[in-house]
Chains A and B, each alone.
Chain A
């Protein structure tokens, strides 16, 4: 292993968590500023792809919270589930109710819309990331 590649690996090891945290921040701020589930998901995909380029794609898949297909399907399920509370409240499916939690002077507004956005994020990361990583993996191993 050349030292240059070694430097890249060390660099990537540090950069990857930063990128994932950044993508998560992108997800959270999406409600009021540029960002949101799609962009954050694609950002995470970019992070995973970069990781796969420096190391290899199976390591990159392991770095994801779940295996890509599972991540993707859990994202879809989270998004599906996020519409249910509205139904229990007698509202149409996928209309997003808001609640305000008071935690000792600090007010926190919560809504199922965040859950939905999280679902989008996970589904995009899992699906697109899965396709890219699996493709690179297959190509590297077989061609």
Chain B
């Protein structure tokens, strides 16, 4: 059964990377979201998937028996929230970049690496 989850994980990670490598700013953003999602799945499934019982102690008992692993769940829960905050921040950045450059082509964003102005530094590679 693990293989189904693993294929899903692999697909999400691959899609996330593929989109993040895109020239389209928005596709990058979605790629980031999917990559985070995929890594969460990796983290979650490395805590072993072998039960459907949630890690909640039953009323009659004092300890947890035969339930899912709580530790990766706690990790992933915070990871989901944090990566959501990160995504929101990236989204605002993306909007700002689009507003500034009027373009959502990543190769058109050159503020951080402006063209060479002196003779020693070779010119930037021409945009493809």
Q: Is A131's CB under 8 angstroms from B77's CB? A: no
Question: For chain A residues 8-56, which have a beta carbon within 8 Å of chain B?
Answer: 32-34, 38, 42
Q: Is A131's CB under 8 angstroms from B85's CB? A: yes
Determine the distance from Cα of A38 to Cα of B85 in the docked complex, in whole angstroms.
13
Chain B proximity mask over A86-128: 1 for CB below 8 Å, otherwise 0 = 0000000000000000000000000000000000000010011
Decide yes or no whether A80 CB sits under 8 A from chain B: no
Decide yes or no whether B81 CB sits under 8 A from chain A: yes
Decide yes or no whether A132 CB sits under 8 A from chain B: yes
* Size range of the chain A interface in the assembly: 10 to 19
Question: For chain B residues 45-63, which have a beta carbon within 8 Å of chain A?
Answer: 54, 56
- Given A33, A34, A131, A143, which contacts B88 in the complex, CB threshold below 8 Å? A131
Question: Please, which residues of chain B bring their CB within 8 A of the CB of A139?
Answer: 95
Q: Is B81's CB under 8 angstroms from A124's CB? A: yes
* Size range of the chain B interface in the assembly: 10 to 19
Classify the interface of chain A: helix, strand, loop or mixed: helix
Q: Is B85's CB under 8 angstroms from A127's CB? A: yes
Decide yes or no whether B111 CB sits under 8 A from chain A: no
Given contacts A135-B88, A135-B92, contact A34 B54 (CB under 8 A): yes
Question: Please, which residues of chain A bring their CB within 8 A of the CB of B78?
Answer: 38
Determine the distance from Cα of A139 to Cα of B88 in the docked complex, in whole angstroms.
14
Decide yes or no whether B91 CB sits under 8 A from chain A: yes
- Given A32, A127, A132, A143, which contacts B56 in the complex, CB threshold below 8 Å? A32
Question: Please, which residues of chain B bring their CB within 8 A of the CB of A135?
Answer: 88, 91-92, 95
Q: Is B85's CB under 8 angstroms from A128's CB? A: yes
Determine the distance from Cα of A33 to Cα of B54 in the docked complex, in whole angstroms.
10
Question: For chain B residues 85-116, which have a beta carbon within 8 Å of chain A?
Answer: 85, 88-89, 91-92, 95, 99
Determine the distance from Cα of A38 to Cα of B78 in the docked complex, in whole angstroms.
8
Given contacts A38-B77, A38-B81, A139-B95, contact A128 B56 (CB under 8 A): no
Query: A residues bordering B, Cβ < 8 Å?
Result: 32-34, 38, 42, 124, 127-128, 131-132, 135, 139, 143
Query: B residues bordering A, Cβ < 8 Å?
Result: 54, 56, 77-78, 81, 84-85, 88-89, 91-92, 95, 99
